[in-house]
């Protein structure tokens, strides 16, 4: 579950509840009952879920590595989509656009045709190419938003917990909207 917290008009912070257990269940590495039992056992203990599952021989190290990679990708997708889409509600509510970069305004222009706009950053997906260009897919009330050509500005470090518009080079980036009939996302919790 992700909670988006507005700090300033161009910076969002996302607080996460780990989804590692959900990822392990979704991938078939763990049954829901095993996850519930492990979480109950770990209550009040200072041990990570993955460490415990490996220690108990419920999970193999390669399975944990694969799940942690998925978790990291999910977190990057969420923080990137929040940085890109969070300011839209402020703009739609009438906030001045003067504080936003022209490349950003050009990129989001097609999304400003509606009076209501919702998205869940935790349901987004990102892929990072070898050249550092990122593609982001975000389910929204308009359809799936497909961002292409996103990259970090020179000297910025990719951080899947803290990312803002100021970290992104949007020159040449594009967005398209694709109609989707339904989208599945990891359930909240665990």
- Tell me the pLDDT tens digit for each residue of 10-41: 334 444 445 889 889 989 999 999 999 999 99
> Mean per-residue pLDDT for 61-71?
92
In which band, very low, low, confident or very high, does the pLDDT at 148 lie, cut at 50, 70 and 90? very high
Instruction: Identify whether the C-beta of residue 35 lies closer than 8 Å to the C-beta of residue 115.
Output: no
For tokens 């078939």, the residue is 28
How many CB atoms lie under 10 A from the CB of residue 119? 23
- This prediction's pTM: 0.72
Cα(110)–Cα(26) distance, integer angstroms: 34
Return mean pLDDT, the chain: 81
Cα(17)–Cα(154) distance, integer angstroms: 31
- If one compares 189 and 168, the residue with the highest pLDDT of the two is 168
Q: Where are the beta strands (DSSP E) in 36-186?
A: 125-128, 134-140, 143-152, 168-169, 174-178
Tens-digit pLDDT profile for residues 45-63: 999 999 999 999 999 999 9
């Amino acid at each position: 579950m992700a909670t988006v917290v507005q700090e300033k008009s161009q910076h969002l912070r996302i607080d996460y509840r780990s989804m590692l257990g959900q990822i392990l269940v979704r991938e078939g590495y763990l049954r829901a009952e095993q996850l519930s039992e492990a979480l109950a056992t770990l209550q009040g203990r200072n041990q990570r879920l993955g460490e415990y599952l490996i220690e108990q021989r419920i999970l193999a190290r390669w399975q944990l590595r694969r799940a942690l990679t998925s978790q990291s990708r999910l977190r990057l997708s969420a923080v990137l989509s929040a940085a890109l889409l969070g300011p839209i509600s402020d703009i739609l509510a009438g906030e001045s656009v003067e504080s936003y970069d022209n490349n950003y305004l050009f990129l989001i222009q097609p999304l400003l045709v509606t009076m209501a706009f919702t998205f869940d950053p935790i349901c987004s997906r990102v892929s990072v190419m070898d050249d550092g260009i990122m593609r982001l897919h975000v389910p929204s009330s308009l359809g799936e938003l497909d961002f292409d050509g996103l990259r970090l500005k020179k000297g910025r470090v990719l951080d899947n917990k803290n990312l803002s518009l100021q970290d992104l080079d949007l020159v040449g980036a594009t967005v398209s909207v694709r109609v989707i009939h339904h989208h599945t996302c990891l359930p909240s919790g665990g």
